Amino acid sequence: MESTPVKALALVCSLNPSPARSSSQLLAEQVMAALGEHGVRGEVIRVADHDVRPGVQVDMGDGDAWPGIREKILAADILVLSTPIWLGHPSSIAQRVLERLDAELSETDDEGRLLTYGKVAAVCVVGNEDGAHKVSADLFQGLNDVGFSLAPGAVAYWVGEAMQGTDYQDLDKTPDAVASAMKTLAANSAHLAYHLRTTPYPAT
């Protein structure tokens, strides 16, 4: 359908930089693999490996790593935001990513559309025991506010039973329900991304 493949970028919002193991990294990689089955090519970036400064401007200066990441977001058709759950909330790094994306509200193309229009967002959420729906709610709203579209089932998540302590990355196998959610997310998000590429939202 397309000469150049649809591209995805996954931003992993673990509090720990590489090479620490990370459940949110694992889930993001699995979603990228699921997207790959629809011809989507992509890259996974662990945000904590980069010096992303606090702020709400496109470039906070002084060695800020966000402009480099932002360039990859703008080159991608799909943004996957993957976060652990801390105290029931998105990680501080996921919130920092949203704060940096807030700057996009002031960036428009020649026809007055946000540069994020035409891009699809999806979300990965992982925690020991609780919080996936709320975290996806916060991220869906933040990402939609700054211009991303959402296909049905735009979240893949795992949490364990209340107050238990096993990590997603230490499970013996990927639970069927998670695998199925990733498949749905990938199929729908890829479909929507293909469409928006060829048929952009109208200028307003």
Using the rule CB under 8 A, which residue among 6, 9, 93, 124 binds a second copy?
93
Any idea of the CA torsion for 154, 143, 83, 65, to the nearest 10 degrees?
140
Q: Does 147 bind a second copy (CB under 8 A)?
A: yes
Cis peptide bond upstream of 19, omega within 30: yes
Please spell the DSSP secondary structure of 38-103, one letter per residue: TT-EEEEEEGGGS-PPSSSSS---TT-SHHHHHHHHHH-SEEEEEEEEETTEE-HHHHHHHHHHGG
Q: Contact at 8 Å (CB) between 83 and 91?
A: yes
Q: Does 183 bind a second copy (CB under 8 A)?
A: yes
Stretch near a second copy under the rule CB under 8 A, chosen from 3-11, 65-73, 74-82, 193-201: 193-201
Stretch near a second copy under the rule CB under 8 A, chosen from 22-30, 64-72, 74-82, 178-186: 178-186
Q: Does 179 bind a second copy (CB under 8 A)?
A: no
> Look-up: residue for tokens 């979603």?
31
Nearest alpha carbon to residue 135 among 124, 146, 145: 124
CB of 73 to a second copy, least distance (A): 15
CB of 144 to a second copy, least distance (A): 6
CA distance 29 to 12: 9
Mention every residue, 6+ apart, whose C-beta is less than 8 A from residue 117.
147, 200, 201
Q: Which two tokens stand for residue 199?
A: 């048929």
Q: Does 157 bind a second copy (CB under 8 A)?
A: yes
- Report the residue number, 42 or 84, with the smaller CB distance to a second copy: 84
CB of 82 to a second copy, least distance (A): 15
Q: Does 124 bind a second copy (CB under 8 A)?
A: no
- Report the residue number, 72 or 183, with the smaller CB distance to a second copy: 183
Q: Does 108 bind a second copy (CB under 8 A)?
A: no
CA distance 11 to 136: 15
Q: Does 174 bind a second copy (CB under 8 A)?
A: no
Interacting residues toward a second copy by CB under 8 A: 15-16, 48, 54-56, 86-93, 95-96, 98-99, 102, 114, 116-117, 129-134, 136-138, 140-142, 144-155, 157-164, 175, 177-178, 181, 183-184, 187-188, 191-192, 195, 199, 201-202, 204
